[in-house]
Structure 1
């Protein structure tokens, strides 16, 4: 469970509500596994943080944590999550290349689509460096070359077109467009308000992915 609050005082009230609910319903929170994080605005850096207590135990402050498979960081950047995806992609591709080296090309392509194109939570990436994003794209292309034993410097667009496999850019556009559509179709007014704002980071990335250059 995640609690979000605009101030430390409001967060303490939320923690008190959780404790009261737990007592009333026979539940117990594990404070040893609970943490808190303070998001940092661009021009403000907090050196000290207030003390937060859950069930009498002081909570530990962290700069990042993984929630539902996605890394959330205090500086609100997505580099850590992108780098994690790049490492995971490398591991999966190496495994496929070793175990299925003697399979036919069609089998390898099917395996690649199943194991190397998920990019879970990539539609949430809105604040990252071009180096981190480019490294992931290169890793994706190289993974396909390694699995199908193609020349290292062959054209990425050509090899994906010949096998009718989605390239990196196509996957990113599809994932982001899918999230935009599902969010806009949601009955949750907060989600709709966030995604439809003209200054929304998600909308900005969606436009950037689909803009013609």
Structure 2
């Protein structure tokens, strides 16, 4: 599990992803799930959720939410004048990255 954590948790700059197709992200999730199953010697059709839960590792959605929350918190708490200026701009407040963060951090149940 340490191998999985060290190599599959580090998806650099994923908190800045704002434009991607849902199909692309779904393919990435399948690859992420398959890596864990292969490391555990599980069949490809076995439950990914169960494999993640039993082994105490985060799935891709959790990793992405954590990265986004971490970066967002650092931006909000920064006293750097450049970051403060960007943070107060309309491009930041209404931009695609901020909208993606809000969409992932505050998941709404529909139905």
Runs of 4+ in 1 over 6 A off after TM superposition: none
Counterpart Cα distance in 2 of 1:111 and 1:205: 29
Please give the per-residue CA displacement for 1:8-37, whole angstroms capped at 9, x wherever unaligned.
Answer: xxxxxxxxxxxxxxxxxxxxxxxxxxxxxx
| Higher relative helix content | 2
TM-score by length of 1: 0.46
Q: Is the CA contact (8 Å cut-off) linking 1:186 and 1:192 kept in structure 2?
A: no
Alignment of 1:52-67 (within 5 A): none
TM-score by length of 2: 0.85
Counterpart Cα distance in 2 of 1:191 and 1:181: 14
Tell me what 1:209 maps to. 104
Tell me what 1:178 maps to. 70
162, 168, 177: which is aligned to 2:54?
162
Structure number with the bigger relative contact order (C-alpha 8 A, sep ≥ 6) is: 2
Please give the per-residue CA displacement for 1:129-161, whole angstroms capped at 9, x wherever unaligned.
Answer: 111111111100001111111111111111101
For residue 162 of structure 1, give the secondary structure of its aligned residue in structure 2: helix
| Higher relative strand content | 1
Q: List runs of 5+ in structure 1 lacking aligned partners.
A: 1-108
Q: Does 1:113 align with 2:5?
A: yes
